[in-house]
Structure 1
């Protein structure tokens, strides 16, 4: 019961953050699941893979709930979603295949590095100068494949990369955040499929797992995030997001440092 409550709490926070900050709830889900799965004494060699796969599977539901609210505010540019999705899917499937062949230690270290980069970006409010327009189909496919591959390696919906990319291409901030929520769906769906498929042959997985997706955590996180993602999306149009991002960045540094120390 304690772990079910923990999954619901993680999902609630992730849903709000996904809608509010456009960074993807996975950046909270992955480290929290890593800690919880360790407490549950799950096989150490699979903890990172299960955290990443379960995070991506839960983001399928979070992204749907979030982008519907953003769409209602006219903040989703569907042309971008259609053009970038093929590259997103290909890159995400490739990334999940690579991740299945990496060790838990490497994946944790890569996630810590990523979380520090995101935190610094938020603290300094780093935004790429809008130098150009959105590229054509080849450029969008290439960009999508990079975003998808990295997203699958860190278990996120890609907002911390897709939002800066769209800002660089002269997309208004509220459109970039809303469109990023929609882009999170193909990332999450392809990532979940990849982690399930690549985990089917793994031995010593906990019961109630589908490959590298742990079903109880998926149910708890998804159920809560579906309810809270629209709240975060609505708050994004009302609250001082910049100040909230800086507070969240400090939290990320703390989370990343705790994960780093656990590698020792």
Structure 2
């Protein structure tokens, strides 16, 4: 238990730094690295990915809340769109947790490998999500919210890689799309983390320190460090060659995907 906690402190440093520096959630690093860490502990193979995903979502709740607070102070959040998307995100995230529990460990792993490859490609070949001039198609908010919620809960992420392009493509300026996306991550992380906790509540073969599928030593270690390094990463983003660094990070994600596949 203590071994996982101390290793998670280092994982939180990396996850927070990448979130602030590259603008992606820490789940892209937390889920694969934590799954390898848990595999070396007393976790059954079929629980490893589920616990990594659930714990990643629980930690994202804190980073999302801090991000929402900062964006709200700047006045960048479109609260009308956030509230429109909220109910479907809540439902989708709960459904995604149920789907993830029913997936085999191998299928869940390949699902995440696909996400890593997609994210790696987007970072290696950046494309601006420019706001469009036409009015947003609000009738798409509910089905898109469901889809984003389901996929986010399965992958252990806040959904920004999907919600930012959707909001920017629907007429929001990029800074407002990013800010509103961080707000959308709150219902996703709350609903998915609560669902994973409830689904794993009666699993008797999870190690001590588990709250459902959320592993508390890893959760505590990641949160304790990531909330500090996320701010550091955001500051460094203004000083370092971010576009070049994104390409390097894309290679790291690609290597992680290959390692998971291997």
Q: TM-score, normalised by structure 2?
A: 0.91
Instruction: Flag the 1:257–1:106 CA change in 2: closer, same or farther, 3 A.
Output: same
Residues 20 and 237 of structure 2 are in contact (CA less than 8 Å); yes or no, is this contact kept in structure 1?
yes
| Mean Cα deviation higher: 174-183 or 213-222 | 174-183
- 1:257 corresponds in structure 2 to 258
Question: For 1:18-29, what aligned pairs fall within 5 Å after superposition?
Answer: 18-29=19-30
State how far apart, in whole Å, the 1-side matches of 2:258 and 2:146 are.
29
Shift of 1:234: 4.4
The root-mean-square deviation of aligned C-alpha atoms, in Å, is 2.0
For 2:137, which of 129, 135, 138 is the aligned residue? 135
Residues 131 and 174 of structure 2 are in contact (CA less than 8 Å); yes or no, is this contact kept in structure 1?
no
Residues 96 and 195 of structure 1 are in contact (CA less than 8 Å); yes or no, is this contact kept in structure 2?
yes
Question: For 1:114-133, what aligned pairs fall within 5 Å after superposition?
Answer: 114-127=115-128, 130-131=131-132, 132-133=134-135
Shift of 1:19: 3.3
- 1:6 corresponds in structure 2 to 7
Instruction: Flag the 1:58–1:67 CA change in 2: closer, same or farther, 3 A.
Output: same
- 1:96 corresponds in structure 2 to 97
State how far apart, in whole Å, the 2-side matches of 1:177 and 1:246 are.
21
State how far apart, in whole Å, the 1-side matches of 2:99 and 2:64 are.
24
- 2:66 corresponds in structure 1 to 65
- 1:172 corresponds in structure 2 to 173
| Mean Cα deviation higher: 51-60 or 75-84 | 75-84
**1:100 match: secondary structure:** helix
Q: TM-score, normalised by structure 1?
A: 0.90
Residues 130 and 173 of structure 2 are in contact (CA less than 8 Å); yes or no, is this contact kept in structure 1?
no
Kindly provide the CA deviation profile for residues 114-148 of structure 1, in whole angstroms up to 9, marking residues without a partner as x: 11011112211134564543232x42121111101
Kindly provide the CA deviation profile for residues 84-108 of structure 1, in whole angstroms up to 9, marking residues without a partner as x: 1111111000000111111111101
Unaligned stretches of 5+ residues in structure 1: none
Shift of 1:2: 4.1
For these two proteins, the number of residue pairs brought into alignment is 260
State how far apart, in whole Å, the 2-side matches of 1:16 and 1:176 are.
21
Residues 127 and 167 of structure 1 are in contact (CA less than 8 Å); yes or no, is this contact kept in structure 2?
no
State how far apart, in whole Å, the 1-side matches of 2:159 and 2:234 are.
16
